[in-house]
Structure formats: C-alpha cells, structure tokens
Structure 1
Amino acid sequence: MTGTDGPLVLGPLLRYVDDTSAAVWVETRVPASVSVTRGDGTATARTFAVHGHHYALVELTDLAPGSSETYTVDVDGEQVWPEPGSPFPAPVIATLEPGRPLRMAFGSCRTSVSHDEAGNSTHGVDALRAWALRMADQVAPADPDDPDLAPQLPDLLLFLGDQVYADETTDEMRAFIESRRDIEQPPWTELQDYEEYAHLYSLAWSDPANRWLLSTVPSSMIFDDHDIRDDWNTSLEWRREMEATSWWHGRIVAGLASYWVYQHLGNLSPAARADDEIWQHVVAHAGDDEYDLGEVVDAFADRVDQKPETYRWSHVRDFDTQARLVVVDSRAARDLHPESRAMLDPDEAAWLDEQLRGDVDHLLVGTSLPFLLARGLHHLEAFSEALADGAWGERGSRAGERLRQTVDLEHWGAFQRSFQDVSRQTMEVAAGERGRAPSTVTFLSGDVHHSYVSEARPARHRRPLQSTILQAVCSPIRNPLSRNMRFATAVLSYGVAGPVGRLASRSTKVPDSPLTWHYAEGPWFDNNLACLQVRGRSLRMWWVTGEVVDDHARPRLAKVATYELDEQGNPPPRERVATKVRKRIRGR
C-alpha cells in the first residue's frame, strides 16, 4: 500500500498529541479523502496540494486522557496503514495523562543513507533506527536488566534540527537531482526547488523501522541550518552573498514552504493550528475538490524570509505542571543588522521572555544551537563577533567575518546581546523570581556533532538559585564527525582553550558572562539519541546508540551515558562526574 504505486507516499506521522486530541499527517499519491480510525471513532480530511504533491492532516478529538488504542489509515476507503504482513506492532495513538511521568527523546543531525555495511561504514549506525527496532522489540536488549533499554514508548520525540540536509546531499539524492537537471550548473548537487525537497523528505522518513516509529510516537520539530544551508543567517554579509546568487531565492522559498508542510504544521496544537494563517486557507476551502496551496505557501515563505517578525516558528506546550517545553527558532528569527545584531529579533525575544517562567517542575528549552557550548568555543565565538563588529578596526572586522563563516562561529556565544539577556532571564527563573522555581532549567540542543551535559551557576556574586541549570546536547543521530574534527572539538573543549578563549574575548571588551559552566558528562561523539524522564523534581537523561553485532540491518541498542538528578533535584557529586570525564577523554 505504500510502495511505488500505492496510494500512500509517506507517513503516517503522528504529530501533536495531548490528553484529548491527536493529529496524523500523510502524503498521498493523488488527491484523496484520508480517514483515521481509532477504536470506534473515525476522523476524515481532504488532501490539499503543494506543487503536485498531496497532503492531509487528520485531526482526532474527544479522546480519553491516558488512553492507548491502535489505529488504521484509509485513503479513499482503502486501508493503507498498517500494511498487511508488517513485522512491526500495530501503530497506536496514546494520549497524555495528567500526572503521569513525562518521557521524551531528542536529538538532531541525521543523514539518510543505506542501513547496510556500506552506509554504516561511512555514516555509522542510525541511532534513531536502532532505537525504533528496540521499541518494536525486534532485537534483544544489550542488557536485559537495564530499564533504559526496555521497549517503552515515550510521550514525545523532539527533533532539534537538520532532519534533512539540503546542501550536503547523499548519492541517492544526487542521482535524483541529476535526473532532473544539469548538476554542473548552480546550485549543483544542492537542492533547488520544492520537488527536490519533497524527495529529500521521502528519503529521510521512508525506512520501514523509522516509518513505524514516526507513526506511533508523537513528534515535534524545529529546523537548523542544514534544513536550508550550512551557516544559514550567520551574518548580514553572509545573507547578502547568498541573495546575490541566481539560486538562493528559489532555495529559501522551497525550504521554508516545505518546512511548513512537512515539519511545522504538525507542531501546532489544535488552537494554534486554527489561528495559523496558512492552515486557515485549507480550512476555509469549500467543496469536494482539492485545494491548491502552492502559490499561497510560496508567497508566505518569501515574506517570512524577508520579514521574519511576521510569523513565529517557535512553539510552546505545557505538560500539566510537570514540564513546559519551549522550542525556540534560533535561525530564521535572527536580527542580522550589526547595530542591533541578535539571535532573536525584538518580537521573538519578547515572546521567549514571556515563556521563561516557573510554576512547573521542569522548564525545558529546545534550541537547535546549544545555549552553553564548551567554554573555549563560547569565548571564541564572542571574540569573533566583537572582531567582526569592528573592535580592532576595519581590517580586524574583515578577519572576524571570515573567521565566523569559515569556522561556523554563529551559536549563542556569537550573539552576545541575546546570550546575556537569556542568561539573566534563566537565572531569574532559577531564583524563583518568575513564579515557583522549577527543579531544573534544561536547555535541549543538537547541531554540534558531539554530545554532553553541562551544569551552570552564576558567575558573580554567588546569586542563590533554587534550580539546577543544565545544557543537554544530543548530536548527531547519524552524521558523525571525522577523527580530525573530533580532535579539534576536544581541544576546544578542554585544557587551555577555555582560558585562551576568555583572554581573546576580553581583548575585544566582550562583557563577562552572567553564567559559568562546566561539563558534567561528555563530550562523546557517537551517533546517538537522548532520552529524558521527569518525575516530580527528579530528572534522568540517557543516551543510546546502535551497535552492529551480527547483522548491519539489525543493530543492537546500547547505552552511551547517563545523567540524573535525585528526588530533591540535586545533581551527582562533582568529584564522581569529573572522574567519569577523565576516563572518557583517555578512552578516546
């Protein structure tokens, strides 16, 4: 039913799910009516079209909190999911239950190559797929006594950027591009238009194990640079260079339009979806014919690229009083003008300020770019921004611009205005000045192709905090760094790099950071996926990876690292953590 001639092209993806509603997204081969049946209830939606592709988002309502039931998908009355003879369990829609411990997984950076020996030798084992197989109970656990490796489905899977790579394409994607146009002409083997984005998403989400997982675990997503192009919105100069090319306009319009269709629409709650300006076009369409959204979504993408303040990609949701998850757009919402340069434009910054509140057990902030990098890297980024802004004159400014574009120095540290503001807001939350202080303020991030946990505290005056401030990074899911890049990252993460970077940033009069931080776990460079569970004030995180034992197509799930806070929200003793870190460094 989902083969090359079947009515279902891609999906179903289970997207936003709360205690009483769920949204199921699909791509179909032709205009159709799509129905989702769960228990004795059925919901139906007509497809809408974008550039010859057909999509439906089916909204189920009035579900019972804490319930879990299997579901089926029909296209024009023909059941297409689950597929007959599927080796995977029947897909389920499990609603949230107030008070039940929240469990989620997160990660970023995943390329789509084969899962055989050839693919694993160049890109490593796909950690998402290894986890999917374990969740489906297809392979034996690495340790049958380890509950972290048990097949327990989470409440949410959070993708923190680089779901697809529009600029670093695989052989299979390049073959598709070459079948359409001359790859010796711009943009060469990078993506050009919506059709190529649609094919790229198909490659990313069509593996049977991952497809089953996405059909049964709710997902939330935010973009990062490679969803569009490496270094996207690094600086005003970078943007002007791109806009001067013959191909950038087509890329950014196709990238943002396809992102709204494939990723963003499913992030929205029923209320937010009803208010969404693009979704309103779909809902308002009357009649049995399919609505063509192509021109509308293209015009929208063109506008929000030029005027990012006119639309918000960031989103937030509360899991009763257990946790608030704030997912921040740290790419499209940037203000790149040197006199007002910021990670978030004024409207977006004000929105984030409103969301950073207590009165929950855990405040989780999802941002594709780590808020707290290794301190050496952080200071180097702050130095590069000051240099590019003219701290050492015009010649230094040119050098600073070259440096930040060449070495990808465009994280929060390279946007000091925003870093300083969010640091202060975070400490206010942790001090109980914005409602009851949560047990943790935890930043969840990806992007940097290594993973770690950092603990932060006030840098000055020893301001008393009631919350533990954490940075947890999971990257990559499947796109490991080369050995040389691993070594360079490690050098910038330890030893003299931190003090040297701090001296460099001080030489350009960068303000001192309100926070100081240190590694509590890591870094490690495996392909991995992170899991998180909160129960009251306690928090537990663990990272898993796939290991080939006998069969490349059926890797075994193994644990990489663990970090936890006790029932009082206290972190582990620092001495024990430091010993673990030293062992990890020597082990590499």
Structure 2
Amino acid sequence: MSRSDGRLLLGPLLRYVDETSASVWVETDAPGTVSVVRGAATASAPTFLVHGHHYALVELDGLEPGTTEAYTVAVDGEQAWPPAGSPFPDPVIATLEAGRPLHLAFGSCRTSVAHDAKGNRSHGVDALRAWALRVGGQVEPADPDDPDLTPDRLPDLVLFLGDQVYADDTTDAMREFIESRRDIDEPPWTELQDYEEYAHLYRLAWSDPANRWLLSTVPSAMIFDDHDIRDDWNTSLEWRREMEATSWWHGRIVAGLGSYWVHQHLGNLAPADREVDEVYGLVRAHRGQDEQDLGPLLDAFAARVDQQPETYRWSFAREYDTQARLVVVDSRAARRLDPDHRAMLDPSEAAWLDEQLRGDVDHLLIGTSLPFLLARGLHHLEAFSEALARGAWGERAGRLGEKARQLVDLEHWGAFQTSFQEVARQVMEVAAGKRGRAPSTVTFLSGDVHHSYVSQARPVHGGPELGSTILQAVCSPMRNPLARGLRLATAVLSYGVAGPAGRLAARSARVPDTPFTWTYAEGPWFDNNLAFLDLAGPSLRMWWVTGEVVGDHERPRLAKVESYALDEDGNPPPLEGVASRVRRRIARRANGDLVRER
C-alpha cells in the first residue's frame, strides 16, 4: 500500500470502544473513503461534508473481547496513519473484557499554546502531553520506581470533562487565524465567530504530535462546559438575554453546538445510539462521493436545540458489566433558566438522570463538568446568591445577587438548589441500597474550577446508614492554571471560616439544608494535572500526575501530584484534620507553581 500522510488533517481519534466494536474519527483534506484495518478486521466509511470540511466515522464490529491489536488508517487506499517516521508506538485498538479491572483517566480545561518556555511560563506544562510523552516512550518518569508513572497498560477510556477548546479566550495562533479572515476590532473581536473558526480551533487543540498519537490509541469520551461556547454559558436568564441581544451570539451558539456534535459528541455515541441519532441519520443519507454539504442542516439543528434543549440529549451513559456505570451529564445546555423554576436540568434531562442513578454495580461514576460538591463555603455562598437573585431579601438585593452570580461565576450545582437537592436525594437512595444493591462508591468526576481535590460525604446527623462511600473527585486544569490571587481566594473558601460563614448566609435566606455534609479528603492543589482511576471489585484508587520541566521545556517528565484510595474492601481512609493535611502538603512541596522545574 502506498502512503499519503497528508490526507488526514486531524485524527485519527479512537472514540467509542466496547468488547466487540470500536469507532475511529478523522478529518480529511478532500472527499474520499476512509478505511481502518485492525488485524483481520477491516471497515470503511465514506466522508461527509460540513461547511467545506470532510469527516468520517469508521465503525468496526465483530472484534474479540480483551484483545489489543495495532491498526492503520487509509484514505482512498493510501495509508495515512501512522505517519512515516513516527517516534511513537503503533496505535492500537484495545477492546474491553468483562471482569477486567477498569482503568480510566479524566480531566478538564486545556488551552492550546506552544509547548516551549514561553508557553509553559504563561500556561504551565500540558499535563495531557506530558503523559503522552511518557506512555509513548519518549521520556523517563520523575520516579522510575513508581508504577503509576510506568503503567503496564493504557486506560480503557480518557474522559474529557469540559473546556476542550476555548472559544472566548483565544491563543495567539488562533487570533492570527481570525485576523486573517476578518477585522478583530469588530464583534465578536478575537472570540470565535463561525464554524470555520471552530474547525481551526479543534485543529490547534488536537494536532500536536504527542497528543495526536495519544488520542489515536486511547478511547475518549467528552462533554462540553462553558468555554467550549463562552464563559458563563447559560448562567441565568438575564445572561442569556444579554447574549441574544448582541449581533454575534446566534452565529456563535450555532457554530459551537454544530462543531461540538461533529468533533466531540458523535464519537460519544454507542452503536445503538448512533442508529437512532437524528443528525447521524442525515450523515448516512448524504455522505459519499456525491456528498451534500450538511452545514445548513446542522446549523438548523443547533439553532433548534439551543432554543429547545429538551429536543436533544447531549448526556450519555456507559455500562462496564457489573463493575461500573458511567453517567455523563450535560450541565450546560439542558438548564432551565426561568427565574421561578431554575434548574440545572430541564424535566426531560432530570428524568433521564433519575433513571441512570441506580445500583447493582460495584461503582457508580457520575461525570459532570461542574463539581457537584464544591468547597462547602463556596457551595453555601452560591446557594445564598441564588436565593438573593430570586428575591429572598427584596428586589434591590436580587439585582446584586444576579450581578454577583455573573461576576464571580456563582453558577455551579449549589446555585441551582432545586436540582442539587433532587440529585443529592437520589444519590443518597443509591448509597442506602434503595435503588438496587448499593455500590461500593458513588463518585462524581468533575473539572471546571481550576483546582483539584477529593471530597468525601457523609449523612447529616440522623440520616440513613449508607452502604456506599460518596466521593467528589476533581481534576482541573490540564493546562490553564489559576492566577496566584485566585488561588488564595480558593484556599480561603476551602479552609478557615468561609464554610461556616457561607452556611449562615445561606440559612439567613432560608436555603434548605443538604442531606449530607462533606469534607476534603485530599487537596486542594493547583497544578496542571491529569487524573487516573482504577476500579477492582469494591476498591478504588485515584492519582493525579503533572508535567515537570527538567532542562527541556518541550520534553517534560511525568511526576505524581497526589493520590487517594479505598482499601480492598472498599473502606475509605480516615479523614485528616485541616491543619495536619495542610502541614503535610507544605512539607511535601510548594504547591501550585505554573511550571514545576528541577
């Protein structure tokens, strides 16, 4: 077979994989037929066209469970992947196997700046890329004796929990592209305007050789957060009305949702879900050599689901036999913003989530870009701000509450108390064994907040006895660290008097008490990092890694940041007091430098 490496503009991305099937996504430079060959299995798909860009999703089936084989990608019969002379191992497709311990990676918030000294000074080391270089055999780990830094197999899935791209806070390279097309002194200035700019943004995000190789060999699932569209997306009805009054918002939301479906959501879908997906039906009807540009149809779809979010579901779920259920929740597009009926999820989405939250698995994993359990002080302040905005202290205080909500991003689950209380009650029922056998853990996996931590929840006094440990694990950012001043503010809200003060404020506005309370088990820390999760029977183990510069900024070493584990029987470790945890962390290292150098 001849070679033509340049036919692939982006990808391949290995997306949905189960015991017997896999899907591979690509963008090509022209119409054509894309083929994937894995051992004896070969599958092909014609490209489809969206706003002048050509894509394909190749679906393989009939694979053997628990097998790992290298694969190649060809376009019109010419091999296009792996590239000639690549220093990385051949990409593989590894199918799942029932009963095998499940291994996941997760994280959020990643900007696409250069991986040189300048980029690392401004945004820190890309933790995803540092991991790719390590598992791709390009660098040695910081600690050669740590097995977590030299894994014996790749994860079964990497879950990206929002802000895969930044449409509102663009990099120099993205701004240069925008300026080549239009006047950046006119709205929307250096923010994204249309599908063409989104397509370029994804190319910047996914084309670095190390990350590109990683995404070609580790299955991925994704959900959006606000910066995939714009900061504070759907914070409130007032925010939405302000956006819709601009000359550019309609184009942004249509391009953002349409490009998200193509680049992220399509690959999330299991084969059965693709069969009934309305947009994929259009793809199948119009792909091929006589392909019709689906751009206008996709624009109409995006415009509709923006205004009528109940007509399409971005959330999805994965079953890993009886070992785990992963439920990934859309906490942005499905919001209900009517001030009298505010909810994180509209009724249809809430009912779907209610159905997914059940036991009879060892671990229930809930992926939501926004942490369900923030630091308690911040949670109570968000609940207080919502109560103010709804008029708990009068109209004038309501206006102040709305301004505060937008100014300091008070729009997480705690600021949607109706939804928070509903999901908390459902989780308590799962943990108490009222929705099937109680799992060992109910674990929320989240990002967004640009710091990482593990929180452990317990019922309030007099609450039911639980058969599950309820955890919140956060990994944020992969590459977009907080400024030092904001780290201090986060620390204040994490420790000290902020918790009790926030609770008093919330009570003063008659915010309902939560059915459980929670405490930091580890954290917070502020490194750029990527998290890992191992599940084996009732036990659970998590750890976070980061990139560490040792001389060469473009070849960082992988180092461990923190870890947390339940024992083999599923019992959590004893909680440390705040003072001892802070002392231990200070003794280990100075926390939160933009670039960890040695």
Classify the secondary structure of the residue corresponding to 1:520: strand
Partner of 1:448: 449
Partner of 1:90: 90
Deviation string 1:330-378 (CA, Å, 9 cap, x unpaired) is: 0000000011100000000000000000000000000000000000000
> How far apart are residue 98 of structure 1 and its match?
0.5
> How far apart are residue 31 of structure 1 and its match?
0.8
Q: d(CA) in 2 for partners of 1:285 and 1:53?
A: 14
Deviation string 1:275-327 (CA, Å, 9 cap, x unpaired) is: 10000112234764223211111110000000000000000010011000000
The answer to whether the aligner puts 1:528 opposite 2:529 as a matched pair is: yes
The answer to whether the aligner puts 1:66 opposite 2:66 as a matched pair is: yes
Partner of 2:368: 367
Classify the secondary structure of the residue corresponding to 2:332: coil
Contact 2:4–2:79 (CA under 8 A) maintained in structure 1: no
Q: d(CA) in 1 for partners of 2:461 and 2:54?
A: 56
One-letter amino acid of the counterpart of residue 403, structure 1:
A
> How far apart are residue 479 of structure 1 and its match?
0.1
Q: d(CA) in 2 for partners of 1:285 and 1:177?
A: 30
Q: d(CA) in 2 for partners of 1:352 and 1:107?
A: 22
Partner of 1:6: 6
Change over 3 Å in CA distance of 1:38–1:4 after alignment to 2: closer
Deviation string 1:471-516 (CA, Å, 9 cap, x unpaired) is: 0000000000010010011111110000110111111110111110
Contact 1:160–1:222 (CA under 8 A) maintained in structure 2: yes
RMSD over aligned Cα atoms: 1.5
Partner of 2:404: 403
> How far apart are residue 550 of structure 1 and its match?
2.0
Matches within 5 A, 1:14-53: 14-53=14-53
Deviation string 1:36-74 (CA, Å, 9 cap, x unpaired) is: 011122111000010000000000000000011000000
Deviation string 1:166-200 (CA, Å, 9 cap, x unpaired) is: 00000110010000000000000000000000000
The answer to whether the aligner puts 1:137 opposite 2:137 as a matched pair is: yes
> How far apart are residue 575 of structure 1 and its match?
3.4
Q: d(CA) in 2 for partners of 1:331 and 1:75?
A: 37
Contact 2:206–2:212 (CA under 8 A) maintained in structure 1: yes
Percent identical residues? 78
One-letter amino acid of the counterpart of residue 119, structure 1:
G
Q: d(CA) in 2 for partners of 1:296 and 1:582?
A: 57
Contact 2:31–2:288 (CA under 8 A) maintained in structure 1: no
Deviation string 1:451-480 (CA, Å, 9 cap, x unpaired) is: 000000112413200000000000000000
The answer to whether the aligner puts 1:184 opposite 2:211 as a matched pair is: no
Classify the secondary structure of the residue corresponding to 1:484: helix
Partner of 1:153: 154
Superposed structure 1 runs of 4+ greater than 6 Å apart: none
Contact 1:521–1:581 (CA under 8 A) maintained in structure 2: no
Change over 3 Å in CA distance of 1:286–1:411 after alignment to 2: closer
Q: d(CA) in 2 for partners of 1:239 and 1:513?
A: 29
> How far apart are residue 4 of structure 1 and its match?
12
> How far apart are residue 272 of structure 1 and its match?
0.3
Classify the secondary structure of the residue corresponding to 2:6: coil
Change over 3 Å in CA distance of 1:45–1:286 after alignment to 2: closer
Partner of 2:478: 477
Partner of 1:429: 430
The answer to whether the aligner puts 1:316 opposite 2:311 as a matched pair is: no
Contact 1:68–1:95 (CA under 8 A) maintained in structure 2: yes
Partner of 1:243: 244
One-letter amino acid of the counterpart of residue 567, structure 1:
E
Q: d(CA) in 1 for partners of 2:131 and 2:519?
A: 29
Q: d(CA) in 2 for partners of 1:188 and 1:585?
A: 43
Partner of 2:163: 162
Contact 1:19–1:63 (CA under 8 A) maintained in structure 2: yes
Change over 3 Å in CA distance of 1:5–1:441 after alignment to 2: closer
Contact 2:384–2:505 (CA under 8 A) maintained in structure 1: yes
Contact 1:520–1:577 (CA under 8 A) maintained in structure 2: no
The answer to whether the aligner puts 1:355 opposite 2:363 as a matched pair is: no
> How far apart are residue 576 of structure 1 and its match?
7.9
Classify the secondary structure of the residue corresponding to 2:444: strand
Partner of 2:595: none
Partner of 1:270: 271
Change over 3 Å in CA distance of 1:578–1:440 after alignment to 2: farther
One-letter amino acid of the counterpart of residue 102, structure 1:
L
Contact 1:37–1:71 (CA under 8 A) maintained in structure 2: yes
> How far apart are residue 216 of structure 1 and its match?
0.2
Partner of 1:57: 57
Partner of 2:594: none
Partner of 1:124: 124
Matches within 5 A, 1:163-562: 163-285=164-286, 288-562=289-563
Q: d(CA) in 2 for partners of 1:9 and 1:459?
A: 54
One-letter amino acid of the counterpart of residue 94, structure 1:
A
* Long gaps (5+) in structure 1: none
> How far apart are residue 568 of structure 1 and its match?
1.1
> How far apart are residue 581 of structure 1 and its match?
3.9
Contact 1:521–1:577 (CA under 8 A) maintained in structure 2: no
Classify the secondary structure of the residue corresponding to 2:246: coil
Contact 1:282–1:291 (CA under 8 A) maintained in structure 2: no
Contact 1:264–1:313 (CA under 8 A) maintained in structure 2: yes
> How far apart are residue 584 of structure 1 and its match?
2.2
Classify the secondary structure of the residue corresponding to 1:318: strand
Classify the secondary structure of the residue corresponding to 1:466: coil
One-letter amino acid of the counterpart of residue 50, structure 1:
V
Classify the secondary structure of the residue corresponding to 2:488: helix
* Long gaps (5+) in structure 2: 592-598
One-letter amino acid of the counterpart of residue 184, structure 1:
D
Classify the secondary structure of the residue corresponding to 2:435: coil
One-letter amino acid of the counterpart of residue 169, structure 1:
T
Change over 3 Å in CA distance of 1:142–1:239 after alignment to 2: same
Contact 2:4–2:78 (CA under 8 A) maintained in structure 1: no
Contact 2:360–2:436 (CA under 8 A) maintained in structure 1: yes
One-letter amino acid of the counterpart of residue 158, structure 1:
L
Contact 1:520–1:578 (CA under 8 A) maintained in structure 2: no
Deviation string 1:512-548 (CA, Å, 9 cap, x unpaired) is: 1111000000000000000000000000000000000
Q: d(CA) in 2 for partners of 1:36 and 1:578?
A: 55
Classify the secondary structure of the residue corresponding to 1:378: helix
Partner of 1:101: 101
> How far apart are residue 579 of structure 1 and its match?
2.8
Aligned residues: 587
Compute the TM-score of the two structures, normalised by the length of structure 1.
0.98
> How far apart are residue 578 of structure 1 and its match?
6.6
Q: d(CA) in 1 for partners of 2:206 and 2:28?
A: 14
Tell which deviates more after alignment, 576-585 or 479-488: 576-585
Contact 1:365–1:443 (CA under 8 A) maintained in structure 2: yes
> How far apart are residue 77 of structure 1 and its match?
1.0
Deviation string 1:549-581 (CA, Å, 9 cap, x unpaired) is: 121111000000000001111011223887334
Partner of 1:583: 584
Q: d(CA) in 1 for partners of 2:286 and 2:479?
A: 40
